[in-house]
Chain A
Amino acid sequence: MLFDAYDPGDFFDELFMAPGQPRSEAELLVQRVNALTLDDLQQRQQTAQNALFKLGVTFNVYSDNQGTERILPFDVIPRIVPGHEWEWLEKGLKQRIYALNCFIHDVYNDQKILNDGVIPRHVVESAPGFLKPCMGLKPPNNIWCHITGTDLVRDKDGKWYVLEDNMRCPSGVSYVLENRRVMKNTFPHLFAAMDIAAVDDYASQLLETLLNLVPDTLISPRVAVLTPGAYNSAYFEHSFLAQQIGAELVEGRDLVVADGYLKMRTTKGLERVDVVYRRIDDDFIDPKAFRPDSLLGVPGLMEVYRAGRVAIANALGTGVADDKLVYAYVPQMIRYYLDEEQMIPNVPTYLCEDSTQQAHVLSHLDQLVVKATNASGGYGMLVGPHATEEQRAEFSDRILANPRGYIAQPTLCLSRVPTLFDDGLAGCHVDLRPYILYGQDIYVNPGGLTRVALKRGSLVVNSSQGGGSKDTWVVKSVDPNAQLPHDQQQGQ
C-alpha cells in the first residue's frame, strides 16, 4: 500500500501523526490512496495536469520565448485543514485584516497611531509603499484592502504564523478554484464521503465586494478588471476572474480619462467605468501621479479617483502595509485599534534598523532568514542555513549599508504534506495562502492555496522558484461510519 513506506520524519506532517497513523480528518483519504497502485495514482495526476493544461490554467515564463506557458505543477495529494482549526484561523485572519485596514486608513488620514507613538513615524514614512498622493483619501466605506491573500506557515510543532500580508494584488485564487474543479474529477467518491468545504462562491463574493464600492443610486455600474496584458505572468487569472464575475477585462490602452470620468474605448464610442479591480501595482497605475515611465496605467486616473468618480480595489496606497518593517508592528496595530491580542502570531522578527537587534542578526546569519523589507515572492532574501559564506557576507554588507531595508526571522521548519514522486510518496514543505475579501463584511474563502516546494528538502514554495500547488480541503467533520464505494474501472 502506497502509504506503508511513508515516513513523516521529524517534521509536522499535515496528514500523519506518526508513520502509519493518519490524522482523523485524513483517514478516508489515506484509505482511498492506499487502494491505488503507484501507477494508478500517477495516471490520475497526469490526467489532472492535462486537464489544467487544456483549460489553460497557465502562467507565463518571461525568459522563455518558445513555450511561454507552463501550468503550475499540481500535486494530487491534498492538504487537509481540520474544521475546528479553520474556524480559529478564520477568526484570526478577520481580526488581522480589520486592524490592517484601520491602520491604512489612519496613516493616510488622521495618523493617530503615529501621533500616539505606537508606531514610529519614520517606519511608515520611509516605506516605499507609502504614497504621498494618497494623503486625505477616503475610499468608499473607508475600506482599502478589499482583496488580500495572507501567507500562513506552520512550524515544526504545528504552530501557525503569518508570514506576510499581500495587500496590493495577491494572485493565485484562480488555482484554488481550478484545482478544486480538477480534484472533484480525480477523487469524486471522497468528495461524496467527506464534508469538504466548497470554494466555489469566491466569484460571487468578489463581485459583491466590488459592487459594494458604488453608491446604490447607480443603476447598472460597470466593473472592469485592469490587467497589464496577455504577457503578464498572472494573465490567466485576470481573464478568469473577469469572466467569472462578468466584468470587462481591460488594459491601460483601453482606458482614457475624459470629461472627468474614467472611460473605455468601445466599438460604440467611450463608455464609463465605475469600479476597477486593478491587477497592476500602485506605482504603475497613473504615469501622471506616479512612475512617469509606466505604459500600463491611465494618465489622469488618480485625479478621477480622488474625486470619487471611480472606485479602485484594492485602494491605492495599501502597499504601505506590505512593507516587512511595517509588518512587524501588526501586533501593536491590533492592540491599538481593537484592544485585542493578536490571534495568529507574526513570525518573530528582528529589525535591522535597531542596533542591538542588528548585532544579533549579523552574528547569527547562519541561522536566520534575511528579507528585504520591500520585496516579496521569495525575491531578495537569504536563507542563512542554506547559504554560502559569500552570500552571507554579501547580505551582511547590504544590511550595514541600508539597515531600514532589511529584517530577519528565524528559519522556520515548515510543515509537510505527502507528495507524489516517480518512486512513491515523500513529504514536501508547504505554506498556505487564504483569500480574504472585505466588502460589507469580511469573508474568508475556506482553505486557500497550498503552495508546495517540489524540490526535495527545499523550503521555497514560490512558483517562480520551483514550487507547485495542492488542493486544500477544510474538512468539517468526518462520519466515522462512512464507507468508500469502489471507484469504477478507469479506461486508458
Chain B
Amino acid sequence: MLSRVADSIYWLNRYVERAENVARFVDVNLNMLLDAPSGMEQQWEPLVFITGDQARFKARYGEATAENILRFLTFDREYSNSIISCLCSARENARSVREVISSEMWEQVNSFYLMVNEAADVGAISDLHNFFPEVKMASHLFAGVMDATMAHTEGWHFGQLGRLLERADKTARILDVKYYILLPSVTDVGSPLDDLQWIALLKSASAYEMYRKCQYRITPQGVTEFLILNREFPRSIQFCLIEAERSLHCISGTPMGSWRTDSDRTLGRLRSELDYLTIDEISQQGLHEFLDDLQTRLNDVGEKIFTDFFALQPVA
C-alpha cells in the first residue's frame, strides 16, 4: 500500500475520533455545570488546558468565557483541533484516498462534514446540547461503516491504529478534566457533588452503564481504574493499546510478543507496562502526572509509526 495512502487513512481516522472526543469532553463539562449548585463559578478554562493549546486560545480570544471556549473548540476554522477543523482535515484525507476506502465511508465522512459545516454556519452556541450527541453518533457511524464495508487488510489496520491511539490519548485527557475542575472546598471531596462529577465523567466516555455492570459503586479509584486499565471496555486506555498493538502487528507481520520495528517496540512496551500496573501505583504517582506521561509516550508511538511506515525515503 502506498505510504501516502496509509498515512491518509491513519489521519482520517484520528481526526474523526478527535472530533468525537472534543465533543465528549465539552459535553462532560456542560453536564457537570448543569448539576453544579447555583452560585458556584462556571469553570470552562480547564477545557482549554486539556487541549494543551492555552497559548493559541489566549491569543485569539483573551477572556475564557463559556461562549469563547465553545466557539474555539467547535467552530473555529483557524484552530486546527476544533471540531470543524478536524472534520475538514478528515474529509481532505478521505478525499485523497477515495479509491481505497469504500464509497460508504466517503459518503459518511462527507455528510458528517456537511452536518458540522451547516451547524458552524448557523453558529448558534446556545443550541450545542443537541450538536454534541450528533457528532458522537456520526463518528460511531463512520467507525461502523468502515468496519462493515472495508476489507480488514493493511489499510483498515492503519485506520484502526489511528483511531485507537487517538482514543487512548483522549480518554486520558477526559480523565484529566476532573483533575482541573475544582470543588468548592476540600471537604466536598467524596460529597454528592463530587460523585455527580464522576458520574458525568463516566457518561462522557459512554462508560456509565458498563461501569455499573462491572462494579456497582462509583468511587474515584474505581472510575480511573475502569477507564485506564479495563481490558474489555472499548474506550479504556488499555483496551485501545491492546487493539492498536494487534493492528500494528498485522501490518508489520511481526509475531505478538516480539518486535522488529521501533513502533512494535514502543507500543508493545507501553501496553505490557499497563498489563502489570495497579491503580494504587497510579495513585501513588499521581493521576495527573501519570496521564501526562502517558500522553507523551503515546505521541512517541505516533512518531515511530511515522518514521517506520510513512516517511519512506527512496534509495538514492
**Interface residues of B, dominant DSSP:** helix
How long is the Cα–Cα vector from A225 to B5 in the complex, in angstroms? 14
Interface string of B95-106 (1 = CB under 8 A from A): 111111001001
How long is the Cα–Cα vector from A161 to B100 in the complex, in angstroms? 40
Query: Of A56, A258, A265, which one neighbours B110 at CB under 8 angstroms?
Result: A56
A358 at the interface (CB under 8 A from B): no
Chain A residues contacting B95 (CB-CB under 8 Å) are: 56, 230, 235, 239
Contact B2 A250 (CB under 8 A): yes
Chain B residues contacting A235 (CB-CB under 8 Å) are: 95
Closest to A225 in B: B99
Chain A residues contacting B100 (CB-CB under 8 Å) are: 243, 249
Query: Of A253, A256, A268, which one neighbours B4 at CB under 8 angstroms?
Result: A253
How long is the Cα–Cα vector from A236 to B103 in the complex, in angstroms? 12
A63 at the interface (CB under 8 A from B): no
A113 at the interface (CB under 8 A from B): no
How long is the Cα–Cα vector from A253 to B311 in the complex, in angstroms? 12
Chain B residues contacting A247 (CB-CB under 8 Å) are: 99
- Chain A residues touching B, range: 20 to 34
Chain B residues contacting A250 (CB-CB under 8 Å) are: 2
Chain A residues contacting B194 (CB-CB under 8 Å) are: none
Contact B96 A230 (CB under 8 A): yes
Contact B314 A258 (CB under 8 A): yes
How long is the Cα–Cα vector from A264 to B95 in the complex, in angstroms? 20
How long is the Cα–Cα vector from A243 to B103 in the complex, in angstroms? 9
Chain A residues contacting B158 (CB-CB under 8 Å) are: 267
Closest-CB distance, B239 to chain A (whole angstroms): 25
Chain A residues contacting B103 (CB-CB under 8 Å) are: 55, 243
Contact B98 A239 (CB under 8 A): yes
Query: Of A56, A230, A265, which one neighbours B3 at CB under 8 angstroms?
Result: A265
Closest-CB distance, A49 to chain B (whole angstroms): 14
Contact A55 B107 (CB under 8 A): yes
B124 at the interface (CB under 8 A from A): no
- Known contacts: A54-B111, A56-B110, A256-B314. The answer to whether A251 contacts B98 by CB under 8 A is no
How long is the Cα–Cα vector from A391 to B139 in the complex, in angstroms? 55
Chain B residues contacting A242 (CB-CB under 8 Å) are: 99
A254 at the interface (CB under 8 A from B): yes
How long is the Cα–Cα vector from A240 to B99 in the complex, in angstroms? 6
How long is the Cα–Cα vector from A248 to B3 in the complex, in angstroms? 12
Interface string of A251-269 (1 = CB under 8 A from B): 1011010100000111111
A343 at the interface (CB under 8 A from B): no
- Known contacts: A54-B107, A230-B92, A256-B314. The answer to whether A267 contacts B99 by CB under 8 A is no
Contact B1 A267 (CB under 8 A): yes
Contact A251 B110 (CB under 8 A): no
How long is the Cα–Cα vector from A248 to B2 in the complex, in angstroms? 8
How long is the Cα–Cα vector from A249 to B8 in the complex, in angstroms? 13
How long is the Cα–Cα vector from A250 to B106 in the complex, in angstroms? 18
How long is the Cα–Cα vector from A223 to B310 in the complex, in angstroms? 22
Contact A249 B99 (CB under 8 A): yes
Closest to A238 in B: B99
Other contacts beyond A239-B96, A247-B99, A268-B1: 4, CB < 8 A: A56-B106, A225-B99, A254-B4, A266-B1
Give 28 CB contacts A-B under 8 Å.
A54-B107, A54-B110, A55-B107, A56-B98, A56-B106, A225-B99, A230-B92, A236-B98, A239-B98, A239-B99, A242-B99, A243-B100, A243-B103, A248-B2, A249-B97, A253-B4, A254-B3, A258-B314, A258-B315, A264-B2, A265-B2, A266-B3, A266-B312, A267-B1, A267-B3, A267-B158, A269-B312, A270-B315
